[in-house]
Structure 1
Amino acid sequence: MLQGRQHLLQLYRSVAWTRPFSMDLKDVVKRLEDLAPRSLAESWDNVGLLVEPSGRKTVKSILLTNDLTEAVTEEAVSRQVDLVLSYHPPIFRPLKRITSSNWKERIIIRCIENGIAVYSPHTAHDALLGGVNDWLAKALEPKSTEPIQHSSEGGSWSHQVLLTTSSEEDAIRVADSLKQVLKSRTGTVSIVATAVLVSCQESVLALVARELETCAPNVQINVTQLQKAPRPGYGMGRLCTLEAPITPAEAVAKVKKHLGLEHVRIALSPKATMDSHTIRSYAVCAGSGASLLRGVRADLYLTGEMSHHEVLDANVQSGATVILCEHSNTERGYLKDVLKGKLEQRLEGKVGVVMSEVDRDPLVVV
């Protein structure tokens, strides 16, 4: 009998040790943003927590997907996950209504109904050192790599407004007034003795000026544009060099193996053949790379999608061979190969992290 009880106790301890625990949603979001700060994302993007259930939300499991489709949403509901991390933001353009007539709106309704939070990192992981573009660049085993468009140090603000008031009381009054009109995502306000310092984007300067006309009309104001140094290793796309030149055929084989694909599309530059050793450098951009890669000096462009005329420009104008893999195929493997492990480490094993089994690129070769 004693041995039986000891066996049950050991079994209970092993189950309790291996099962995921839980973490407050706010703590999960903080750790996601510590990993890839929203300041790294492009200004046009919509990243961060996009759907937040009401009340205090506890997260026991996270579903990783490249796109939050209706099929993935039903998967999230059936697997009873608490948070979906969707690489692409399911809410991108502003919603004027939430009805059942539009598939993206139906997704939001289903998530809210089932208490599922939604988070999207998107271009924050495009720019991240060790992020999706570094993962994609590894397909051809580069000798060296650097961002095509560097991220900047010094946070997300482009300007600072400094004003000195006559007393600390006035400084507090002015700062409080500015805080009421500025949200944390559009600017910060701090006080040093009788001085008030506002950090913000250029687009917010008019709002600050209008408020100061009311609360501090006779105070002199100094506006400074911040100069930001490049952030080493961080930025959009990657420009890479190879140890030795390879052929387009070898590049295709390596890309297909790295991405787990049976087919890719290739457009050879006029000076190349499939078996000529013409690739000594290459530029990558996960997703849609035409605008970032335009004019980049490299023998090969590797990306998800480009239009017909953009491919012609790359071939003829830039002299580059182009390999296209379809948009999400250049991103999805990063979630499985890299991000899943990073999240498990950041969340200290307290939250289960699983991959979607139904997420896939909508385009297939038939």
Structure 2
Amino acid sequence: MTRTIESLVAVLEEIAPLAGAADWDNTGLLLRGMRAITRVGLCIDLTGPVWSELRQCDAIVAYHPPIFRGLKRLDGSTPRQATLLDVIRQGVHVYAPHTALDAAPGAMGDWLLQAFGEPTSFEECRPIQPAAFDPRYGVGRRARLAEPRSLQSLLPRLKSWLGLSAVRCAGDMNALRTSVAVCPGSGGSVLAGLDDVDILLTGELGHHEVLAHVAAGGAVVLTDHTNTERGYLPRYAARIRAACPDVSVVVSAVDSDPLVVV
């Protein structure tokens, strides 16, 4: 049995409505291909190696939009353009949820918050920037811990949850903390000014933003950009499978953060 791109898009937008996306973002169906859908591939970044791995898929859900800032030409003169041209030639659909998936309840933002503990570990959990159309939606998550914890005691679960052997930390590791905030990817604009939150977790934060939060008495955990995003893909795949039992859904094994600790 096959599925149309319209029916797949309906499922993806049920999970993460595009109304929740940031106004600067480029989300939704970016490339309409020609294939009926029996196999869907998931990735964070649709790079050349990832495309080589997923080229047998009929549709690719790439979290980061492979078409973002203005494309003035599509002549294959860069690796990104060459990949996009080959995707088009093969008739494969490409969909990007990005900040819509960050904002949706039960999606990436809530998954990232659980790096600090199971849902019962939190009180007063809410988006940092609630969406105007529904306050349950919004970028970032902040919460109070049910009991005070040190960052040092939280790190084993955090690293295990994210599948990392190491993270970068700033601030007092042993002070007892009562509140946390998270933002997938680059959290500077979302986490800025949260001096009343003890621990910030994100992929990237500017040097001076880290200094400011530590000076205010807080702590910061940085993982590099996509390490706050990629771990959600298996759960995302499971949600798509549940809604599309007639479709095979695979997560890229090649997709990885470009930075490694050596």
Q: Given the two structures, how large is their TM-score scaled by the length of structure 2? A: 0.95
1:260 match: 163
Q: 2: distance between equivalents of 1:22 and 1:320? A: 52
Q: 1: distance between equivalents of 2:33 and 2:163? A: 36
Whether the 8 Å CA contact 1:328–1:361 is kept in 2: the answer is yes
The counterpart of 1:356, out of the listed 210, 232, 252, is: 252
Q: Given the two structures, how large is their TM-score scaled by the length of structure 1? A: 0.68
Cα-to-partner distance string for 1:169-192 (whole Å, 9 max, x where unaligned): xxxxxxxxxxxxxxxxxxxxxxxx
2:203 match: 304
SS of corresponding position for 1:58: coil
5+ residue gaps, structure 1: 1-20, 154-230
SS of corresponding position for 2:50: helix
Q: 1: distance between equivalents of 2:14 and 2:167? A: 35
Whether the 8 Å CA contact 1:252–1:323 is kept in 2: the answer is no
Q: 2: distance between equivalents of 1:133 and 1:320? A: 21
Q: 1: distance between equivalents of 2:205 and 2:174? A: 24
The counterpart of 1:109, out of the listed 85, 92, 109, is: 85
Question: How many residues are paired up?
Answer: 257
The counterpart of 2:237, out of the listed 328, 340, 343, is: 340
Q: Confirm whether residue 64 of structure 1 aligns to residue 42 of structure 2.
A: yes
The counterpart of 2:101, out of the listed 96, 113, 125, is: 125
Q: 2: distance between equivalents of 1:99 and 1:310? A: 40
Letter in 1 for 2:206: S
Shift of 1:291: 1.1
Cα-to-partner distance string for 1:6-36 (whole Å, 9 max, x where unaligned): xxxxxxxxxxxxxxx3201121112211221
Letter in 2 for 1:242: L
1:147 match: 127
Letter in 1 for 2:139: M
Q: 2: distance between equivalents of 1:323 and 1:140? A: 11
The counterpart of 1:331, out of the listed 216, 226, 229, is: 229
Q: 2: distance between equivalents of 1:64 and 1:81? A: 10
1:36-185 matched pairs, under 5 angstroms: 36-54=16-34, 57-77=35-55, 80-141=56-117, 142-144=121-123, 145-153=125-133
5+ residue gaps, structure 2: none
Shift of 1:308: 1.4
RMSD: 1.2
1:192-207 matched pairs, under 5 angstroms: none
Whether the 8 Å CA contact 1:51–1:108 is kept in 2: the answer is no
Cα-to-partner distance string for 1:93-130 (whole Å, 9 max, x where unaligned): 11111122212211211101111111000000111000
Q: Identity across aligned pairs (percent)?
A: 42
